[in-house]
Copies of this chain bind each other. A is one copy, B any other.
Amino acid sequence: MAKDKNMLLKWLRDAHAMESSAESILEKQVKRVKDHPEVHRRIADHLEETRRQQTRLEDCINKLGGDTSVLKEMVGKFSGTMQALGAAGADDELVKAAISNYAFESMEIASYKSLIAAAEAYNEPEIRRVCEEILVEEERMAEWLENNVGAITRDHLSRMGVSVHEPSKPGPESRREPPRPRA
């Protein structure tokens, strides 16, 4: 391995630790949302994706000559970080979980964007390709959460017995415009 690829290797290991933490968070959540079928299905699907992503990152690490036997030690680096926000057991658990999952997905998105730039800088097109594929999966999950956090909030209030006011016209859930190309 070229010595100066140490930083790329470190960031791939960080990403692997992040996905391991995501797996552990999603495993806990998937058991708790059984009475919300659509949320359950999306989390279960993403749990499977997350497991496959870990394997693909291990392949990238091996490709750079890195050792994957140390990866387990790094698991938990990110644990507890977002879980605290998930607020398991709070009466608004599902709403808080949607918010914290979106934040976690966004951390993953920014991490893969950074990794793609790094793989490109190091002229590692295969690693770049893998990170681009994983990025698409994370963006799909983030998009689903972004489009559903409002509905999850309204559903929670209805279940709590709040007589939910129906607006005259539905507001757009997102105002974000597609990112402009950088100059």
Complex interface: stretch among A41-49, A56-64, A77-85 = A77-85
Of all chain B residues, which has the CB nearest A157? Answer: B121
Q: Does A37 contact B (CB under 8 A)?
A: no
Contact flag A165-B4 (CB < 8 Å), given A176-B139, A178-B174: no
User: Which of B81, B114, B135, B139 makes the CB contact (< 8 A) with A85?
Assistant: B81
Q: Does A71 contact B (CB under 8 A)?
A: no
Q: Does A143 contact B (CB under 8 A)?
A: yes
DSSP class of A's interface residues: helix, strand, loop or mixed? Answer: helix
Contact flag A120-B165 (CB < 8 Å), given A85-B81, A110-B146, A113-B173: yes
Of all chain B residues, which has the CB nearest A2? Answer: B162
Of all chain B residues, which has the CB nearest A92? Answer: B7
Q: Which residues of B contact A176 (CB under 8 A)?
A: 109, 139, 142-143, 178-179
Sampled A-B contacts (5; CB under 8 Å):
A7-B160, A99-B107, A114-B150, A121-B162, A177-B178
List the 5 closest pairs (A to B, CB-CB), nearest first. Answer: A106-B106, A103-B107, A117-B150, A123-B165, A102-B110
Instruction: List A residues at the B interface (Cβ < 8 Å).
Output: 4, 7, 10-11, 78, 81-82, 84-85, 92, 95, 98-100, 102-107, 109-111, 113-114, 116-118, 120-123, 128, 132, 135-136, 139, 142-143, 145-154, 157, 160-165, 167, 171-182
Known: A117-B150, A121-B154. 20 other contacts (CB 8 A): A7-B92, A7-B160, A10-B92, A81-B84, A85-B107, A98-B110, A99-B111, A103-B103, A109-B176, A118-B157, A121-B162, A122-B157, A122-B165, A128-B171, A132-B171, A142-B176, A146-B179, A147-B179, A151-B182, A174-B179
